[in-house]
Chain A
Amino acid sequence: MHRRDFGRLVAGLALSPVLAGQSLAAGWDGLLVQARGQTVYWHAWGGDPKINAFIAWVGEQAQARHGVTLEQVKLAATADAVARVQAEQAAGVATGGAVDLIWINGENFAAMKTAGLLYGPFATALPNWPLVDVTGKPATVTDFTLPTQGFESPWAMAQMVFEYDTEQMKEPPQTLDAIAEWAIANPGRFTYPQPPDYLGVTFLKQVLYATLPDPALLQAPVDDATYAALTVPLWAFLDRLHPALWRGGRAFPASEPALGQLLADGEIVLSFAFNPGRASAEIAAGNLHDTIRTFTLTGGTIGNASFVAIPFNAAHQAGAQVIANLLLDPEVQARAQDPAVLGFQTVLDVAKLPFADKARFDALDLGIATLSPADLGPALLEPHASWATRIAADWTARYGVAK
């Protein structure tokens, strides 16, 4: 036990930016040697074929550039991988664990970091780390108010945008209240994924932003003393909205893609996603009608970053770091931002990139339904993870049993 802690400390020191220059480069080269020939099991949510295809492409790059094989373990929920590492810890599997890399953020990161289930810090020592826009995109280092401290490395930015069918809805509403009014006037044409699904909870958090007297409260953990009073408007909002939802609020789509499919099927007219480029990408892929457009709310919508983290007992920690670094490569980032591929926002500071790399981003056609970075509006910080846990549990208690 002690020896392992000591080892981790040494590893952390060796990779920390304090020891920059030669030793870092030497450390990274050593890591590359170690990583060659490894197979990295990346546990990533597998519900979206476009993401799966992108990960497969990253795998080809990893193989070609570094001789690292990448295997995506497709999850129905990220929590599954977390539970796996937990189970391994409980079973005493301290090395050679099954999970090498997890696509993670928010509660799952908080849970793993608190439980000491993560390897690191490693992110700030990655050669591509200096390219990350940590000032312009603070969400790259603050995950749900929790400082990442190098225990996870960002690879994509996301922001909530609403999607609507211009054929059915002329003027998109600009506030949540206006959305509620529209939904009540057009019953059955709007819904949100069932909490504790991530996107569903994001919708609740967005409502919290609109209904709390001081949204800054969201950056602190939930205070039991004031929680009940503070959330009264949230539940009142939902109580009013639910009867007008798709299926009268007696069923909810399971996830973001399920919600997207409802929009594609024309079952709903107003939807939302945690990816500003999703609508354009889906239109380009022929899955969504080309009359779909996007909008955000006055005052902004919630945005965050997607990260990768490495479990403490990962069998292929060297290979995993090579993948984390590769994900920050400008070419990879530009590909992820291409709406025809993923349409994810980059975590890099594009303005500071070398000309050739910057050109990759400039050349991107953002797509028919994607808002320009200026029109996207401010990205609101994710609330403290305790809010999500609490409102998801209360949502289940209130609405989890159909009336």
Chain B
Amino acid sequence: MIVALLPRLTLCLMAAPVLAGVGGTLFPALAGGGAGFRTLAAWPGLPRAAALSLGTGLASTALALLLCVTILAALHGTPAFDRLRRRLAPLLSVPHAAAALGLAFLIAPSGWIARALSPWATGWTAPPDLLILNDPFGVSLTLGLLAKELPFLLLVALSSINTAQAQRRMTTAATFGYGRVSGFLLTVLPDLYRQLRLPVYAVLAYAMTSVDMAMILGPTLPPTLSQQVVLWRMVPDLTQQTTAAAGAVLQLALVLAALALWRGVERLSRHALRLWATAGHRAAALDAPVRWIANVTASGLALALGLGLGALALWSVAADWRFPALLPATLDLRGWRVALPDVLPATATTLAIALAATLPALGLVLGCLEAETRHGLSATPRAMTLLYLPLLIPQVAFLPGLQTLALAIGAEGTWPAVALVHLTFVLPYVFLSLSQPYRSLDPRLTVTARALGLTENRIFARLRLPLLLAPILTALAIGMAVSIGQYLPTLLIGGGRVTTLTTEAVALSSGGNRRIIGAFALLQTLLPALAFGLALALPRLFWRNRRGVRP
């Protein structure tokens, strides 16, 4: 009975803080007769900031989806795809801030790319005066977002795609003379996209409103709207607080408008694909160029992120590293020594919050999936939307309201409060990664167990949990990675007193000491990577004598 109620409880847990937070943000925006909106409208940067939010968000999401589809269309089911998946999977665990910092170290005029080409090819003996980072059009921000969102969409697609069915459809299309790419687009994508839709919306909402990535890679004259909202919120002047609230409301409206626009384009694309399918154009010539694009861009992004993280690692131990030297002249551990006193407590807090957010999330998700199995419930589209609500509503639109709420009840600035808010962000990802393996567990096993007279609880504990050990640990690792990477929730709900590796890394990023940034960003990356490593290794160890369940 309790199990049957879990899905509803979980949905409340997801929706309540978001709605309360949006209310808490709306109120100051509307208070004072809309004075906040007037000062917002008077800000000269507004049109540009709003356009940047829309532009970088839509561009990075569209590119990420396009590349995800391209990669799947060109490579799914081939050996090259498995290689690519192995290359991209670790990137999923890289926190946004670390990815952005690594990318910044790579593409800055004094970064690794410029060093590799200097002075022999470029003639530069000093870093060139080029506006690459923080460029006014948000190109580097778009690239940074793309590099993070593509692995995520690929992972979601892989967990939703029905491989056997997709193979049959592609083969059928091939016997009619269709190319791989056209076969995939016309026969597999329409079904697949239905399951990708919500994650894509979450990516769009995140990309439009990311604060930590925008702080590191985004434009500054003006910054993106979300970043400016956070800047206003930090100014000790009450009129600015209402401006910040008004900006948050505008940001919410922008996200909703972008989602509506996306839906429209979605409909048009669906229609266009249907017309194409009915008209019978085989378009086999697409295969070669699309495969090339898929390989080059995916490897390029993986390489860029990998090199960026390498640059972080190297900077953390670099002593003297002047432009245009490709490698540091000398190495030492000073950066780590300086960082160490802060690193240890921050790591402990980060881990405590990640576990305190992820374990309950995992429990709730298991409960929901178990309720599905036992009571034949199924997740309706509306329930899924509620589940995704914390990812669809921009963080700046509900976290300030939540912060005021937390202040009022005295929970603000405590790590359990931070963990509770992390839970709302962690749960959708845990659900996403666990639902497919859970649902595709062979139902005959359950029937067999029931026939043997086992109770549902025993079937859960003795059968499903052990069999799902690998996906459960993966979900746990993903949840921890999501929690570890959270910046704005930690900053606002933690009230600056809850210091995690991420808040520390982003705070340092304004400071510019690369050695210490490197140390923090590296640790921030290593922690989730460790979780993923354990998620891979433990089941292998546990099931070393059972080939059938070894991942």
Contacts and interface: CB of A to CB of B under 8 A. Distances in A.
Interface stretch (A82-90, A326-334, A361-369): A82-90
Interface in B168-182: none
B510 A254 contact: yes
Nearest to B409: A91
B221 A257 contact: no
Nearest to B497: A73
A237 interface: no
B322 A255 contact: no
Contact of B44 (A247, A261, A401): A401
Contact of A76 (B109, B510, B515): B510
A394 to B, nearest CB: 11
B136 A402 contact: yes
Nearest to A71: B497
Contacts of A287: 513, 515
B79 interface: no
A217 interface: no
A192 B484 CA distance: 34
B496 A84 contact: yes
Contacts of A359: none
B221 A251 contact: yes
Contact of B412 (A98, A248, A251): A98
Interface stretch (B228-236, B437-445, B449-457): B228-236
Nearest to A93: B407
Given A49-B338, A53-B338, A266-B127, A83 B234 contact: yes
A267 B126 contact: yes
B507 A75 contact: yes
A77 B491 CA distance: 12
Contacts of B136: 250-251, 402
B222 interface: yes
B45 A265 contact: no
Contacts of B504: 46, 74
B512 A255 contact: yes
Nearest to A258: B512
A136 interface: no
B222 A401 contact: yes
Contacts of A248: 129, 131
Interface string B76-98: 00000000000000000000000
Contacts of B496: 43, 73-75, 80-81, 84
A396 interface: yes
Interface residues of B, number: 56
Nearest to B131: A247
Interface residues of A, number: 65
A49 B129 contact: no
Interface in A58-87: 71, 73-77, 79-84, 86-87
Contacts of A108: 236
Contact of B45 (A80, A81, A188, A401): A401
A246 interface: yes
A402 B218 CA distance: 13
Contacts of A52: 342
A88 B131 contact: no
A184 to B, nearest CB: 14
Contact of A41 (B238, B322, B497, B508): B497
A254 B507 contact: no
B357 to A, nearest CB: 22
Interface string A252-265: 11110110110001
Contacts of B221: 194, 250-252, 399-402
Contacts of A401: 44-45, 48, 221-222
Given A98-B497, A266-B110, A401-B44, A53 B233 contact: no
A250 B220 CA distance: 9
Nearest to B407: A91
Most B CB contacts (10 A, CB to CB) among A107, A112, A261 go to A261
Given A74-B504, A397-B44, A266 B339 contact: no
Contact of A98 (B45, B495, B512): B495
Contacts of A399: 221
Given A83-B236, A266-B323, A49 B511 contact: yes
B408 interface: yes
B511 A286 contact: no
A71 B110 CA distance: 35
Interface in A103-132: 107-108, 111-112
A187 interface: yes
Nearest to A194: B220
A8 interface: no
A68 to B, nearest CB: 17
A48 interface: yes
A56 interface: yes
Given A80-B234, A401-B222, 20 more contacts: A41-B497, A46-B507, A47-B507, A74-B496, A76-B510, A77-B234, A80-B496, A84-B495, A86-B238, A87-B407, A247-B130, A248-B129, A248-B131, A251-B133, A266-B126, A266-B322, A267-B110, A400-B45, A401-B48, A401-B221
Interface of B: 44-45, 48, 109-110, 126-127, 129-131, 133-136, 219-222, 233-238, 241, 319-320, 322-323, 334, 338-339, 341-342, 403-404, 407-408, 410, 412-413, 495-497, 499, 504, 506-508, 510-516
30 contacts: A52-B342, A73-B499, A74-B342, A74-B499, A75-B507, A76-B234, A80-B496, A83-B236, A86-B238, A107-B236, A108-B236, A187-B129, A196-B235, A246-B129, A251-B136, A252-B221, A255-B511, A257-B512, A258-B511, A258-B512, A266-B126, A266-B322, A267-B110, A285-B334, A286-B319, A287-B513, A289-B322, A399-B221, A401-B222, A402-B136
